[in-house]
Amino acid sequence: MSVHELSIARNIVEIVSQVAMEEKSPRVSVIHLQIGALSCVVPSALEFAFEVASQGTPTEGARLQMECMPVVVHCDSCETEVALESPQSFRCPRCAQPTPTLVSGRELEISRVELEEEPICAHG
């Protein structure tokens, strides 16, 4: 297991557990993540690390819904922001000029958390 993914997973568990506590929810069902193409996160490794890190917390058993975000750069020639087709080449897809100005692509964000409601007592 990579230390990178494990530290990210611990971070996610910490933040989301806090959200669950504030909302007084006993359990988290789905965690939506936005992962930049340059974040160097391996989804399967992150899932495994999350399984380990979430044990004994309200996030245990939650599903990770990962959305891959494109690399966006600013092209000085076109004077606009463009999404790269491949993170391997930092060239504007429109004019083929090198585009070293990264706008986004490194982020790893929790975009949404789905919580389970408190079970309603059936008696009475």
Contact footprint for Zn ion (CB under 5 A): 75, 77-78, 92, 94-95
In the complex with Zn ion, the residue whose CB is nearer, 70 or 116, is 70
User: Least Å distance between CB 103 and Zn ion?
Assistant: 13
In single-letter form, the type of residue at position 30 comes to V
In the complex with Zn ion, the residue whose CB is nearer, 78 or 110, is 78
User: Least Å distance between CB 91 and Zn ion?
Assistant: 8
Give the residue at shortest CB distance from Zn ion: 92
Rounded CA separation 17/31 (Å): 11
In the complex with Zn ion, the residue whose CB is nearer, 49 or 75, is 75
